[in-house]
Amino acid sequence: MSKVYNPRDILIRPVISEKSYGLQDEFKKYTFIVAPHANRTQIRQAVEEIFHVKVTGVNTLNRPGKRRRIRTKSGQFWGKRPDTKRAIVSLAEGQEIDIAGLGG
């Protein structure tokens, strides 16, 4: 039996980058960082409930965190950035999401 999640627990934040803005302008696809446990159906339902739009497709990808070296007086240490899961959400024709919150 699956656990019922709050939609705001599924979508963590939108990805703000040149590549994600290019996908928005050209293909009406929006990129979000999502919870690692979320599946495509949960992501679809969360986007539809929060933004009141019709989702036509969801692609997900898991990105491993980069390895980082920290140098100090006592030596060097290796650390790692956290792993992230991203979702690229496609919307129906004529729908859009105001990511910046500026209205337009």
Task: Write down the pLDDT at residue 100.
Answer: 72
pLDDT of amino acid 101: 67
Q: What percent of the chain has pLDDT over 70?
A: 94
Which pLDDT tens digit goes with each residue over 37-73?
Answer: 999 999 999 999 999 999 999 999 999 999 999 898 9
Identify the domain containing residue 80 by its residue range. 7-91
So what's the pLDDT on residue 85?
Answer: 98
Average pLDDT of the residues in 2-7: 78
Q: Mean pLDDT throughout 88-97? A: 95
Q: Answer yes or no: is 99 within a domain.
A: no
- Report if residue 100 sits inside a domain: no
* Residue 72 included in any domain: yes
Say which residue, 101 or 22, is predicted with more confidence.
22
pLDDT of 2 over the 90 cut:
no
Total domains present in the chain: 1
Say which residues have a Cβ less than 8 Å from residue 57's Cβ, sequence separation at least 6.
89, 90
Domain harbouring 75, CATH code:
3.30.70.330
In a domain, 102, yes or no: no
Question: 99: pLDDT confidence band, cut at 50, 70 and 90?
Answer: confident
